[in-house]
Structures are given as structure tokens and as C-alpha cells.
Amino acid sequence: MTKQELVDYIADNADLSKKDAAAALSSFVEGVKASLKKGDSTTLVGFGTFSVSKRKARQGRNPQTGATINIPARNAPVFKAGKALKEAVN
């Protein structure tokens, strides 16, 4: 499902205009980004949790040359599906 298809679905399901549905979806995405940027997590009960995983610095290999490279530490976004979402998919 693309973003536009999701906007169309939200508009139809919530009886909103496509403009309002697009604004609501964009607001949700920006809210999750802001939360993760602060290091907080966002939990939607029954759907899942968006959080930040702290990855340590490590060494890796360039697959083309085999040379060792240093991979710096970084924060990565993580999504863990909730129980209801897992059950809905199965």
C-alpha cells in the first residue's frame, strides 16, 4: 500500500476529505519522528511500538574488496508489532 492509497483508505473509512486525511497522516508521521528524535518511544496499543535502538560501533567487511571497515555507532528506528496486529496478520 502506498502513502496515497493509505490516505484514500483513511479518507473513506473516517469520512474525511483526502486533504484532511493526508494532513492527519503527515501529522502522525511527524509526531512519531519527533518522539524518536527525543529518544522516546511511541506506543499504539494493539498496533505496536516505535522506538529507537542504539547500535554500537563495530567492524565490518567490504563485500567487494574484503577490506575491514569501521561502522560508527548510530541510533536506528525500530518497530515492534503488537499482539493484535500479529494476530490479524496470521
pLDDT at residue 83, as a whole number: 94
Q: Is 90 exceeded by the pLDDT of residue 90?
A: no
pLDDT value at position 9? 96
Give the mean pLDDT of the chain.
Answer: 95
Using the 8-state DSSP alphabet, how is residue 28 labeled? Answer: H
Separation of alpha carbons 71 and 85, rounded Å = 34
pTM (2 d.p.)? 0.79
Given a cut of 90, whether residue 20 has pLDDT beyond it is yes
Domain definitions of the chain by residue range: 1-39, 41-90
**Which contacts (CB < 8 Å, 24+ apart) does range 34-39 have?**
36/77, 39/75
Phi, psi of 22 (to 5 degrees): -65, -40
pLDDT for 59: 96
Query: What is the CATH code for 41-90?
Result: 4.10.520.10
